[in-house]
Amino acid sequence: MDALQVPSIGTQRLDSRCAVRRAAECFAQITGIKPPLDVDERSQKLDKASALKLLAQSFDFCIAQLNSLTPVHLKRNYSVDWYERPEVSGREMVTAMFVHTAHHRAQAEVYLRANGITPPAYRF
C-alpha cells in the first residue's frame, strides 16, 4: 500500500492525523511542552510508515505527559474552542482526549469491518 487513503464515513472523515494531533495539542496546552511530531501533517496522503510514525510519536508524547501531570495541572482551567464551552479543567480535557481517541479508534474499526478486514487486537 503506497498511500493511506482518508475514507469518508457519512460527513465524518476518518482522519487519524487530525485526532492524533488534537490529543497531542491538548496535552501540550496543559504541560506547556511542544509535541515532537516530525511527520508532515499538511500532506493529504500519508504512506503507511509515516502514518504509523505519527501515531507512535503522538501516543508516546501523550503518555509521557500524562505521567507528568500534577494536581495543579488537572485543577487549572484552560481556554478551549469546544462548542459552547470556552473553558475546561485539565481533568476534563484529559478525559475528553481519552473519549476522543476511543471515538476515532471505533471509527477505524467500523471502517475496517465494513471492508471485510478484521481489526488487530489491542490492549487497554
**88 lies in a domain?**
yes
Distances (CA, A) of 3 to 55, 58, 85, 94: 15, 20, 37, 31
Burial-class residue 19 by CB neighbours within 10 Å (0-12, 13-18, 19+): buried
**96 lies in a domain?**
yes
- Between these two residues, 16 and 106, which has the higher pLDDT value? 106
**3 lies in a domain?**
no
**Could you report the per-residue pLDDT of 20-65, keeping only the tens digit for each?**
677 788 888 899 888 887 655 555 566 777 777 888 888 888 889 9
CA dihedral over 21, 24, 28, 29, signed as positive or negative: positive
How far is residue 76's CA from residue 2's CA, in Å, rounded to a whole number? 44
Number of domains comprising the chain? 1
Domain containing 18 equals 8-114
Residue 9's DSSP bridge partners are 12
Is pTM beyond 0.85? Reply is no
**54 lies in a domain?**
yes
Provide the pLDDT confidence category of residue 4 given band limits of 50, 70 and 90. Answer: very low
Is residue 23 within 8 A of residue 100, CB to CB? The reply is yes
CA dihedral angle for residue 71, residue 16, residue 39, residue 48, rounded to 10 degrees: 140
Q: pLDDT at position 91, please?
A: 95
**120 lies in a domain?**
no
**Could you report the per-residue pLDDT of 53-106, keeping only the tens digit for each?**
888 888 888 889 988 999 999 999 999 888 888 999 999 999 998 888 888 888
**50 lies in a domain?**
yes
Q: pLDDT at position 92, please?
A: 94
Q: pLDDT at position 73, please?
A: 95
Q: In a 3-state reduction of DSSP, which class is residue 69?
A: coil
Flag whether pLDDT at 109 surpasses 70.
Answer: yes
The CATH number of residue 52's host domain is: 1.20.120
**121 lies in a domain?**
no
**90 lies in a domain?**
yes
